[in-house]
Structure 1
Amino acid sequence: MSRTVLITGATGTVSTALMNALAGTGVTLRALVRDESRAPQGAEIRVGDLDDPKTLPPAFEGVQDLWLLTPNSPRAPENSMNALWAARRAGVERVVRLSVIGAAPDAPNRSGRLHALSDQELEHSGLRWTILRPHWFMQNLLNEADDIAATGTFSLNMDTARVGMIDVHDIAACAARVLLDGPDRHHGRTYTLTGPRSLTFDEVAAELSRAWGRPITYLPVSDEAKRKALLGHGMPAWVADMLEEYAQAYATGWGDLTTDTVAALLGRPPRDVADFARDHAGAFSAGA
């Protein structure tokens, strides 16, 4: 019998990549969305909101596996709690949860501390569980595409930080592997997912330059300058503050780490930033 996997965060980057990775594998995909007009293709659609637990039971009915991804907000632990409560009441067998790198009660950023609360709740839920803690997404570089296309530069408040960044498609592939391996094999495991090497953003710029045959330069900027730019693009202040905390932590060396976990799960090395640069060259071209 096909297992039904409920996908939360279904319109986001990671969950979209996960649904693509699970397509054609024999599982039944069900997507939880707040806005049916934005519903992804290739999945059963259920309308509900993790902010409102009353809307969740129909989406969880008949589900064996929950992919739990909550939005970055002060309400993230509440959203995770609502999902776990609905899962337990519906008889869901397993939860695979997307957490964050370094989630812990003493993490140097509010996101890490909030995710730690939800990780601990899941661990004590009585459900089978696996937690994925990915590093900084290579796809975050796509936020700099307009500046790179226009000026050949990108600006971050990371100073000389080294970061073991990971391609979102590797996160999705690892999540798919865990879900396809069955409910017991990865129970009780927390996996820290990184790319193959820890890079400075000067080194990232060099890889982008090699891939595209034109010079790309990284320009470090202050926290204040980056926050002003993010707010100017409409980012909520809470998220801008959270990203500033991450940048400050990375600048101290907090993100200078890699693991072998992706290779162990997938049987191949994780994708390098050079692979990412080649695949996304069009997004960074003038006029794209």
Structure 2
Amino acid sequence: MTTPILVTGATGRVGTELVRLLDRAGVRPRALVRDVERARTRLGDRAELVAGDLGRPADLDAALAGVDRMFVLTATGRGQLTQERNAIDAAVRAGVRHVVKLSVLDAGRDSPLRHGVWQGDANALLVNSPVRHTVLQLAFFMQNLFGMVGGGAIRSSAGDGRVAMVDARDVAAAVAATLVDCPDWAYDRTLVLSGPEALSFDDTAKVLAEATGLPVRHLPVPREQVAAMLRRFGAEEWYAEDVAVFNDLIAAGRVATVTDTVRRLTGSAPRSLADFAREHAPVLARAAAPAPAGRPGG
């Protein structure tokens, strides 16, 4: 019995949910993972786990045996383009008939984001390959807010700009629908995923405050401080600068596009931020709690 779908990035926020949804749809995918035992704690028996590394083409060749569809998602980093090129080249060698790839919004050579250029180069490789493809782009995961809310404040240099946030679970649902039963209109297309609305961080703070019952505010800071905060937490210079640039993009209104792609692919409307915040209120409340007296806070 062949395994029709290979999932990369299976233990991340999108991949874990994707594997669950595929299993629920009666499809047991194969997952290429670095650590099988660790992956099993997240995925259980819902996927066939194969040890391998996207940096090693031979591992991909072995994992793609008997596979005709593939999901490509790699961790953001300097090796991202190499890993995604390896995955696409392996898909061509294996005769995979459909590759679904996740990407940052407006990836390409002209992207002001370093990882936008890397992903854009990989997207171009896929689009120009003989493999049928669907590139799904998005601007911002709602789950990113877990790490942004601290001491009762969201700090950004985005001003009153808006961003079309989307729940990672809705992204996974769109990927699953595209892999399992791709509609004709979604083949060989680059599609944008979003939630139902574009929100400023002022709006976001109000939604989180209502859901948690705690005071949450948006605290504007200079863009240099955005990068500096990330560097203090150990981020590489390029990544810290990319986050600051992304704040610039929000402020300029370049990531506010709202689409109906999730609904068209899945048949269901994407979750709103209010729904997301109510569901995750305990986690958000811990993040939003004011800093104790004597410690730095909002």
TM-score, normalized by the shorter chain, greater than 0.5:
yes
Report deviation, 1:185. 5.9
Partner of 1:249 in structure 2?
249
How far apart, CA to CA, are the structure 2 residues paired with 1:286 and 1:169? 22
Q: State the match for 1:113 in structure 2.
A: 117
**1:285–1:211: structure 2 CA closer, same or farther, 3 Å change rule?**
closer
Alignment of 1:11 onto 2:15: no
Alpha carbons 1:155, 1:221 under 8 Å: kept:
yes
Partner of 2:94: 90
Structure 1 residue runs without a partner (length 5+): none
Would you say the 8 A contact 1:2–1:27 is kept in 2?
A: no
**How far 1:130 sits from its partner (Å)?**
0.8
Aligned partner of 2:275 in structure 1 is 275
Q: d(CA) in 2 for partners of 1:27 and 1:170?
A: 18
**Which shifted more, 194-203 or 68-77?**
68-77
Q: In the aligned structure 2, how far is the partner of 1:14 from the partner of 1:286?
A: 23
Q: What is the root-mean-square deviation of aligned Cα atoms in Å?
A: 2.0
What is the SS of the residue equivalent to 1:271?
Answer: coil
2:135 paired residue among 121, 131, 142: 131
Matches within 5 A, 1:1-288: 3-39=3-39, 40-41=43-44, 42-145=46-149, 147=150, 151-182=151-182, 186-286=186-286
* Deviation for aligned residue 1:205: 0.6
Q: Distance in 1 between matches of 2:245 and 2:220?
A: 16
Aligned length: 284
Deviation track 1:168-227 (CA, whole Å, cap 9, x = no partner) reads 111111111111115866321221011111111000011111112232111122222222
The separation in 2 between residues aligned to 1:162 and 1:206, in whole angstroms, is 14
With 36-45 and 14-23 compared, the bigger mean Cα shift is at 36-45
Superposed CA offset, 1:58-97 (max 9, x none): 2111111110012212322211110112222222221001
Q: Provide the secondary structure at the position in 1 that maps to 2:14.
A: helix
TM norm structure 1: 0.91
Distance 1:286 1:270, change over 3 A: closer
C-alpha offsets along residues 29-74 of structure 1, whole Å, 9 cap, x if unaligned? 1111122332132211111111222332221111111100122123
Structure 2 alignment gaps of length 5 or more: 290-298
Identity of aligned residues (%): 40
Return the alpha-carbon distance in structure 2 between the equivalents of residues 286 and 4 of structure 1: 41
Residue type of the alignment partner of 1:85 = D
Give the aligned residue type for 1:84. Answer: I
In structure 2, relative to structure 1, the CA distance for the partners of 1:152 and 1:86 (3 Å cut) is same
Change in Cα spacing, 1:178 to 1:2, as seen in structure 2 (3 Å) is farther
What is the CA-CA distance between 1:247 and the residue it aligns to?
1.5
Q: In structure 1, what is the Cα distance between the partners aligned to 2:197 and 2:247? A: 18
- The two structures have a TM-score, normalised by structure 2, of 0.89
Structure 1: how far apart are the matches of 2:158 and 2:216? 17
